[in-house]
């Protein structure tokens, strides 16, 4: 078997709407999602608050297999030096091959390029794959909201992580 190709990371385009929406729906799980499982009719993936420019997508062999969303944590000018990862998904069949790592590294670079000094995120306490990935890429736990979400009958921590970009 040949080695899988390296993921190519680029900023999303409006034409990515359908593959991104399908990927997001297929990957839904209480391991990472706090919103209920999406049901039809599905809302658009891109809207006023979710623009293509906010997303980096990963392609392997020209197929979209993952995305990361970068956003401002608040709309405040005094908070504009911080970016937050508000979404990271890799298609199930493409996991375990470095796509998530490539997306996080690209998100770090892109946040720096856009002038940010800090990158933060929130991750559910029970999401071991994502927590290992973030820790391996230099994010540290900066706070924990214990039992913040009741998901599938379990109280789950909301873990706040961050890293400097300087």
Ligand X SMILES: CC(C)(COP(=O)(O)OP(=O)(O)OC[C@H]1O[C@@H](n2cnc3c(N)ncnc32)[C@H](O)[C@@H]1OP(=O)(O)O)[C@@H](O)C(=O)NCCC(=O)NCCS
Is residue 61 within 8 A of residue 5, CB to CB? The reply is yes
**The one segment of 37-45, 48-56, 88-96, 109-117 that binds ligand X by CB under 6 A:** 88-96
Query: Does residue 100 interact with ligand X by CB under 6 A?
Result: yes
Q: What is the CA radius of gyration of the chain?
A: 16
Query: Does residue 118 interact with ligand X by CB under 6 A?
Result: no
Query: Does residue 159 interact with ligand X by CB under 6 A?
Result: no
Output 117 or 132, the one with its CB closest to ligand X: 132
The rounded distance, in Å, linking the Cα atoms of 156 and 166 is 32
Query: Does residue 27 interact with ligand X by CB under 6 A?
Result: yes
Q: Which residue is nearest to ligand X (CB)?
A: 100
Q: How far is the CB of 103 from ligand X (least distance, A)?
A: 7
**The one segment of 11-19, 34-42, 82-90, 111-119 that binds ligand X by CB under 6 A:** 82-90
Region label for 30, one of left (φ > 0), alpha (ψ between -120 and 50) or beta (otherwise): alpha
Site for ligand X in 120-149 (CB under 6 A): 123, 127-130, 132-133, 136
Query: Does residue 97 interact with ligand X by CB under 6 A?
Result: yes
The rounded distance, in Å, linking the Cα atoms of 59 and 40 is 27
The binding site for ligand X (CB under 6 A) comprises 27, 31-32, 88-90, 95-101, 123, 127-130, 132-133, 136
């Amino acid at each position: 078997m040949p080695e899988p190709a390296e993921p190519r990371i680029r900023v999303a385009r409006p034409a990515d709407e359908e593959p991104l929406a399908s990927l997001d729906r297929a990957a839904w799980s209480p391991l990472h999602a706090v919103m209920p499982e999406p049901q039809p009719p599905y809302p658009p993936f891109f809207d006023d608050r979710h623009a293509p420019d906010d997303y980096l997508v990963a392609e392997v062999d020209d197929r979209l297999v993952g995305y990361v969303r970068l956003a401002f944590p608040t709309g405040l000018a005094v908070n504009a030096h911080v970016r937050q990862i508000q979404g990271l998904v890799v298609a199930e069949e493409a996991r375990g091959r470095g796509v998530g790592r490539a997306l996080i590294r690209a998100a770090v670079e892109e946040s720096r390029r856009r002038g940010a000094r800090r990158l933060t995120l929130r991750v559910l306490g029970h999401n071991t794959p994502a927590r290992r990935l973030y820790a391996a890429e230099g994010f540290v736990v900066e706070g924990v909201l214990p039992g913040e979400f009741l998901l599938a009958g379990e109280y789950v921590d909301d873990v706040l992580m961050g890293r400097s970009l300087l």
